[in-house]
A and B are shown apart, each in its own frame.
Chain A
Amino acid sequence: MNPVNYLYLAALLFTIGATGVLIRRNAIVVFMCVELMLNACNLALVAFSRMHGNLDGQIIAFFTMVVAAAEVVVGLAIIVSLFRSRHSASVDDASLMKL
């Protein structure tokens, strides 16, 4: 199968993730959408790696997984601490600071 099709899929997943970040209101769901974007990046990297016949893209994909895991650790800690103090994980409720 032509690897370009995987690039289209990656672009589609990335767009779905980006749209989700912009329209969803729950911080956890927003964060999941960011993870979807990172996975779309991984798919694109691996597809390009296959096209070029070198391993750089696959190695970056491994690093991305580690970064995504680290991001989960930090992100969930922050979101859970916000939830515990407000009993809400909605990003709209977090509006103490306005102009």
Chain B
Amino acid sequence: MSASAVHSLWTTAATDPIDKIGAPDIEYGQLSPTLIVIGAAIIGILIEAFVPRKIRYYAQVFVSVVALAAAFAAVVALAAGGYGTTKAGIAAMGAIAVDGPALFLQGTILLAGILGVFTFAERRLDPAAHGNKVDSFAAQAASVPGSDSEKAAVKAGFATTEVFPLLLFAIGGMLIFPAANDLLTLFIALEVFSLPLYLLCAVARRKRLMSQEAAVKYFLLGAFASAFTLFGIALLYGYAGSVSYATIAQVVDGTVAEITPALAGTMGNDALLLIGTAMVVMGLLFKVGAVPFHMWTPDVYQGAPTPVTGFMAAATKVAAFGALLRLLYVVLPGLRWDWRPVMWAVAIVTMLGGAIVAITQTDIKRLLAYSSIAHAGFILAGVIATSPDGVSSVLFYLGAYSFVTIGAFAVVTLVRDAGGEATHLSKWAGLGRRSPLVAAVFAVFLLAFAGIPLTSGFAGKFAVFKAAAEGGAGAIVVVGVISSAIAAFFYIRVIVLMFFSEPRPEGPTVAVPSPLTMTAIGVGVVVTLVLGVAPQYFLDLAGQAGTFVR
């Protein structure tokens, strides 16, 4: 008896083998920016595992900068190859869109990421501890602040070089977020960039209790918001029977090709669609920090290490607005008569709320946090426009805003006293007399935030308000201009404080940074002025990039 005959005594061949699952087609070239960044993050983890402690810092900084630069080059190559305009398409089996807005925002996030790495890598601001240069991050994040184990870690010269791979993972998630073309990818990208940011918030060297508190608040509220997003995704999936953006859009419009009996039942149920949309949009508005989902912003911005705050304030906003634009413009244009009034209300309370509460702030980081809330409102005004100009103005605003933000927070890291950064506003009095250059640079950033002509802030605000006015949202523009005026008051107040009041004898000193932070600040100033004086080229670029692929 042969082996197979024996075998057949107690087994039988399956008559119809299960349909083989085809291998997916992945367009590696079009996805290369994200793949490079995530790959470098994994290399960063291997560096943590295998490279001697002394050279880890150099290896991590090198890998991070090279990877981000290579990813940016890949984005530029894709854009030059026409993937932003004529060859825009959907990659990775429908999961990721490669189109103008995605490439524009990915480029912005990568540049912000490079500047972020520079500010993360700064080691000249704090005095050296036991002969070892120290950065803004705890020697050993696991040890209790002030404990013996922390003192031992500082003495041994430990450093939390894990922040660089964490930053790369966050950037990887942010690159996918505005390009996500189905709801599952959206949710996974949201978590991939949020989780590293929660950790980065917790590892400040100075004021670690505040830093841990910020991380707990950010984590609990962030997880709460992503649970809402996920339930909204479940409801939208229930409504349309698919998570693909294109299919949901067709079901919303009623132009879907094949209607199964189940779909016929659910697509008549507007409650699923409206509640699902509301919950997903709520999660995205949480990430951009729009009122009434802004409660985490001031505490997290204040408590997190300042380099992390700067990066987070810039890049999270870019990624989240990209995802919000794609969701509203690609998936839900058929629903715009429902979401526009809600977005009107959110934009108005965000602009006014951020600007008014900022007036009462006495801490520079909290002030910038409320200012970022007000800016989220200005950007929402462009989102409401529902026109090609609306998309391109939002893209331009995000690009301009992210450089100003990183530069401004980099300046905040320079002003220091014995306890670390001197963030209380009263300590900034007379800074312009003591270090005119730093104060002047910060004044440029504040004027850009305020939207004064010849800075990028003016060009960006003008673009979004023009788009909003042409899109029929005149009332938003009026409120926007009023809240800009309110916001200008507290920006100017800081400038007056810096230049026209007497320096206090026990006031802070301005640390001399290494070329890393100088580059971050310098690039911020140059971009702010260039986009302010000659914005047309970049407005055209954003205009060309303003078409979503469906």
- Answer whether A71 and B223 are a contact pair too, CB < 8 Å, given A97-B210, A97-B298, A97-B302: yes
- State the CA gap A30–B221 with chains docked (Å): 10
* Shortest beta-carbon distance from A22 to chain B in Å: 9
Pick the contact of B231: A14, A21, A27, A51 (CB < 8 A): A14
In the bound complex, do residue B141 and residue A70 qualify as a contact, i.e. CB atoms below 8 Å apart?
A: no
Provided the pairs A38-B227, A44-B231, A75-B223 are in contact, do residues A60 and B213 lie with their beta carbons within 8 angstroms?
A: no
* B86 lies within 8 A of chain A by Cβ: no
Chain B residues with Cβ below 8 Å from A60 are 183-184, 187, 233-234, 237, 243
B195 proximal to A (CB < 8 A):
yes
Q: Check A81 against B142 for contact (C-beta < 8 Å).
A: yes
Q: Provide the bound-state CA to CA distance between A59 and B266, in Å.
A: 20
Residues 68-80 of chain A, each 1 if its beta carbon lies under 8 Å from chain B, else 0: 0011001101110
Pairwise interchain contact B237-A67, C-beta atoms closer than 8 A:
no
The answer to whether B417 has its CB under 8 Å from any CB of chain A is: no
B230 close to A21 (CB less than 8 A): no
Q: Which of A33-58 contact B (CB under 8 A)?
A: 34, 37-38, 40-41, 44-45, 47-48, 51-54, 56-57
Contact among B195, B209, B215, B265 with A71 in the assembled complex (CB-CB below 8 Å)? B195
In this complex, which of B188, B213, B299 has the most chain A Cβ atoms within 10 angstroms of its Cβ? B213
Q: Is the CB of B216 within 8 A of A78?
A: yes
Question: Are A56 and B243 neighbours in the complex by a CB distance under 8 Å?
Answer: yes
Given the contacts A44-B235, A56-B243, A71-B191, A97 and B219 also touching, CB distance less than 8 Å = no
State the CA gap A71–B184 with chains docked (Å).
17
Q: Indicate if B550 sits at the interface (CB-CB under 8 A).
A: no
Complex: A37 Cα to B195 Cα, angstroms: 18
Q: Complex formed: what's the CA distance from A64 to B199 in Å?
A: 20
Q: Is the CB of A99 within 8 A of B360?
A: yes
| A82–B265 alpha-carbon span in the complex (Å) | 49
**Which residue of A is nearest B214, CB measured?**
A97
12-65 of chain B: CB within 8 A of chain A: none
State the CA gap A33–B352 with chains docked (Å). Answer: 33
- Whether A81 touches B213, Cβ cut-off 8 Å, given contacts A34-B220, A67-B188, A75-B223, is no
Chain A binding surface, main DSSP class: helix
Q: Within residues 186 to 215 of chain B, which ones have a CB less than 8 A from any CB in chain A? A: 187-188, 191, 195, 198-199, 202, 208-210, 212-215
Question: Closest residue of chain B to A56, judged by CB?
Answer: B243
Least distance between B247 CB and chain A CB atoms (Å) = 10
Question: B184: which A residues are within 8 A, CB to CB?
Answer: 56, 59-60, 63
By the criterion CB–CB under 8 Å, are A86 and B242 in contact? no
- Confirm or deny: B388 has a beta carbon within 8 angstroms of a beta carbon on chain A: no
Question: Chain A residue with minimal CB distance to B299?
Answer: A97
Interchain nearest-CB distance for B293 vs A (Å): 14
Number of A-B pairs whose CB atoms are under 8 Å? 141
B-chain residues with CB within 8 Å of residue A16 when the two chains form the complex: none
B77 to chain A, nearest CB (A): 31
Chain B residue nearest to A71 (CB atoms) is B223
- Listed residue (B144, B230, B243, B262) with the most chain A CB atoms within 10 angstroms of its CB: B230
Q: Is B471 an interface residue (CB 8 A)?
A: no
Q: Kindly state whether residue B500 has any CB partner on chain A within 8 Å.
A: no
Given the known inter-chain contacts A48-B238, A56-B242, A71-B223, please indicate yes or no for A96 contacting B213, CB distance below 8 A: yes
* Shortest beta-carbon distance from A31 to chain B in Å: 7
Within 8 A of B (CB), among A8-24: 10, 14, 17-18, 21
Q: Among the listed B199, B213, B227, B260, which residue makes an inter-chain contact with A97, where contact means beta carbons less than 8 Å apart?
A: B213
Q: In the complex, A26→B201 CA distance in Å? A: 20
Most chain B CB inside 10 Å of its own CB: which residue of A53, A56, A79: A56
Cα distance A41–B303 when bound, in Å? 32
Q: How far, in whole Å, are A51 and B144 apart by their CA atoms in the complex?
A: 51
Which residue of chain B lies nearest to A73 when distances are taken between CB atoms in the complex?
B195
B residues near A (Cβ < 8 Å) are: 141-142, 144-145, 183-184, 187-188, 191, 195, 198-199, 202, 208-210, 212-217, 219-220, 223-224, 227-228, 230-231, 233-235, 237-238, 241-243, 260, 262-263, 265-266, 298-299, 302-303, 360-361, 366
Can you identify 25 A-B contacts, CB atoms within 8 angstroms? A14-B227, A37-B224, A37-B227, A37-B231, A41-B227, A45-B234, A45-B237, A48-B237, A54-B241, A56-B184, A56-B237, A60-B187, A63-B184, A74-B199, A75-B220, A78-B216, A81-B142, A81-B202, A82-B215, A95-B213, A96-B209, A97-B298, A97-B303, A99-B360, A99-B361
Taking A60-B237, A71-B223, A96-B209 as known contacts, 17 extra A-B pairs with beta carbons closer than 8 A to each other, sorted by chain A number, are A10-B234, A27-B216, A31-B220, A34-B223, A48-B238, A54-B241, A59-B184, A64-B187, A67-B191, A81-B144, A85-B144, A85-B209, A91-B220, A94-B216, A96-B213, A97-B298, A99-B360
Closest 7 CB pairs of A and B: A37-B227, A48-B238, A52-B241, A44-B234, A41-B230, A94-B213, A34-B223
